[in-house]
Structure 1
Amino acid sequence: MPSPDLPPNLDHLFTHRVDTRAVDFVRPADTDRPTWAVYQEARYLGTVHAQVSGAKRHWHVQSLREQHRDLDDAIRALRRPATWQVDQARARRWARDILDDPHMIVLDTQTTSLSDPWAVQIALTDHCGRVLFNEHLNPLADITPAATALHGTTPQKATTAASFSAFVPHLAHLLHGRRCLTYNAPFDYSVLERELHRHFRSPIRAQAWLRKSTWVDAMRPYAAWKGLWSARRGSYRYQQLGSSYDAATNCQLLLTTLEQLR
């Protein structure tokens, strides 16, 4: 049975699966602290300490001098490949390059759904976070209840807004010839591609319009900088940017997040 001084539901010896791979936790006999030595396939990964404050628990990774709110993330940090410091340095150089570009622009969209999405909001900021464009749109399509619950745009509210086509010339003026920074570029790119295809009634013209900008995705560099290794995927685990569902706020949040990488 667990000792009263241990965090709830964690015994002296237990096994926990992280990204489909079993990890064994062994509490040393010579300590009263909530501390476990961590093994994977009989290989010692490191030691973690549970730090409990009220209802909150953090996991301190001894060898890395890091704290993680989630035990799984603490294990992912211990699983980092030997190349992580090189990968992290590369992410820092990437961040400095993109953030120092005065012509760089940041883009985010909010949509009708995650599958076959249409835009209900598009925002762009400059490299300093100043809002250059922030419009709510009539998607001319249904908005799923799940999407409305996140970003707050109801079908009734959307019907009073202009459609994407009304903003195509202005978006071209802001985007063309610039690097366009996004978080999860394939998604935002696909949203604009669908809108442009509908506007031009031509996939070739839509793609030509988009190719006038250079699209840059921050997801992979940020994941490498954090260095939480997914054993299931064999790559660094993508990180959530935040909990905002406003496109302009997300653009500014992305810039603030990337400043950490410098």
Structure 2
Amino acid sequence: MSETLANSTVREGDAGSDVAPRGTPVGSVGNVPVYGWGQAPPHLRTKTQLAADRLTVTEEQEKAPLAYIRTRDYGDVPLHDPAAAVKMRPLPSSTKARMAARRTCPECGKVRTVILRGPCSVCRERAEKERQRLLARTCAGCSTVRERPYSKEHRRCQDCRKEQLEKKRARIEAWLAEVTVCAGDDCTKRLGSKKAARTWLNERDWLLRPERTDLPDGFSGRPGWERRCPPCQEAYDTEQERLRAETQARYERQERERREAEARAAEERKRWAAAALADPDVLVLDTETTGLDDDARIVELAVLTARGEVLLDTLLNPGVPVPDDAAAIHGITTDALVGATTFSDVLVQLTGLLDGKRCLIYNKWYDVGRLRHELTLHYLDRSAAEATEEEAQAWAREQAATWLGAMQFEDVMIPYSDWVGEWSEYHGNNRWQALDGGHRAAGDCRAVLDCLHAMGESRGSEPSEGS
């Protein structure tokens, strides 16, 4: 506890004195009074204050404090009588040595007040100053170290400074030769003298100067150097305008093509939804599971026709408890599945319903994954007894893949989310829409049919003209 807390509860010379409380309790914890800040009995101490005097509370004191003091940062802090406290046992010399070693600087060997993870701050500052002094005496070009610091302007030795200036002069000469000749194609007209260009280059504050009319030939009223003669500049501006027009036309064409593609995709989604509702070979499937993990089990399975007729709606006993968080979502508890049928018991019926039919699923990747897991477990139970575990698992996975490959599953979530069109900048596509079906298998199947009706309501089963 902080020293401020200690000063707020104890006055100098009051230790052990039996005086009346300085304040009235502001509350209680059980039958123990709670005092406000600075109003606690002065003879009581916190555990931090007792530790400063090498005292510690007993187990009885820990369980039954005499009072509490209410603080803003630490809550209600218990207070104890120092007369009932016991002296702390002295630390073993080995423990003291280990504690001191953790606070010892490896550079200077001094023991600091805090635990160190490397050199102390004094040694780090000394090393940084030495590094800066060495850097000032090291040539930035050839890394030669000398006794005196180099010039702060360039930090180079004489030879490296000469080389640096020669390179700078060469760059300036190349620039002067380039800017004093028109940059237009096949044009060699002079734009001004090198002296004028050098003067312009040496004026470091030219960007801040107002427009001038007394500039030599080759300069404009703007703060910059003209790179083309007037005829070439006019031709350049014309070409740039043409390029801008082409870019704008290309952008407008791409936008038009994108809108047309979106319109075709929207029309295709409507056509697909309307055709699915009118197709007698279309079924809707949904499952409820024990969770979202890869080993989650199916606890409810429903299959409906496109007209809403229930072909299968049953609870399935997965043989494992249903987690509370999953049961809180769909309401199917472990007790509700006692005596329910299993996935293996309904597999033949499910196979007969889905065989040769189009099966629509909202987020088919998840439900198909749960079906794959259940099928794998089903075939694993029926694998040959003499097969090894690895062979049995490989055979079960192969049989599950064969079963799923014979079915025709189609997803509804992606087309419906694209139909809603709630764009997500984070994901870079349309946001997936939640299915409002009450989190029960049959209810979710009916919600899928509602999505199909919403997508295809603007058109019948026949395609519109011109599509």
**TM superposition score normalised by structure 2:** 0.38
The aligned residue for residue 37 of structure 1 is: none
| Preserved contact between residue 88 and residue 227 of structure 1 (Cα < 8 Å) | no
| Deviations 1:50-98 (CA, angstroms, capped at 9, x unpaired) | xxxxxxxxxxxxxxxxxxxxxxxxxxxxxxx745433322211221232
Alignment partner of 1:228 out of 422, 427, 443? 422
Matched, 1:183 2:362: yes
Sequence identity percentage = 35
Q: What's the secondary structure of 1:260's corresponding residue?
A: helix
| Deviations 1:89-121 (CA, angstroms, capped at 9, x unpaired) | 221122123222211110000001111211000
Matched, 1:109 2:109: no
| Preserved contact between residue 94 and residue 221 of structure 1 (Cα < 8 Å) | no
| 1:243 shift after superposition | 4.7
The aligned residue for residue 249 of structure 2 is: none
Paired residues, number: 182
| Preserved contact between residue 302 and residue 312 of structure 2 (Cα < 8 Å) | yes
For structure 2, list consecutive stretches of 5 or more residues without a partner in the other structure.
1-257, 381-395, 457-467
| Preserved contact between residue 437 and residue 443 of structure 2 (Cα < 8 Å) | no
| 1:228 shift after superposition | 1.1
- If asked which structure has higher relative contact order (CA below 8 Å, sep 6+), I would say 1
| Deviations 1:147-193 (CA, angstroms, capped at 9, x unpaired) | 10111111122132111111111111101111110100001101111
Alignment partner of 2:321 out of 128, 142, 162? 142
Matched, 1:93 2:287: no
Q: What's the secondary structure of 2:340's corresponding residue?
A: coil
Task: Give the distance between the partners of 2:428 and 2:268, measured in 1 at CA.
Answer: 19
Task: Give the distance between the partners of 1:173 and 1:238, measured in 2 at CA.
Answer: 32
The aligned residue for residue 158 of structure 1 is: 337
Task: Give the distance between the partners of 2:338 and 2:408, measured in 1 at CA.
Answer: 32
Output the aligned Cα RMSD.
1.4
Alignment partner of 2:445 out of 239, 251, 262? 251
The aligned residue for residue 29 of structure 2 is: none
| Preserved contact between residue 143 and residue 154 of structure 1 (Cα < 8 Å) | yes
Q: In the alignment, residue 132 of structure 1 is paired with which amino acid?
A: L
| 1:213 shift after superposition | 1.3
Larger fraction in helix: 2
How does 1:1-262 map onto structure 2 within 5 Å?
82=259, 83-115=261-293, 116-201=295-380, 202-262=396-456
Q: In the alignment, residue 113 of structure 1 is paired with which amino acid?
A: G
1:84/1:228 CA distance change after superposition, 3 Å: farther
Task: Give the distance between the partners of 1:126 and 1:241, measured in 2 at CA.
Answer: 18
**TM superposition score normalised by structure 1:** 0.67
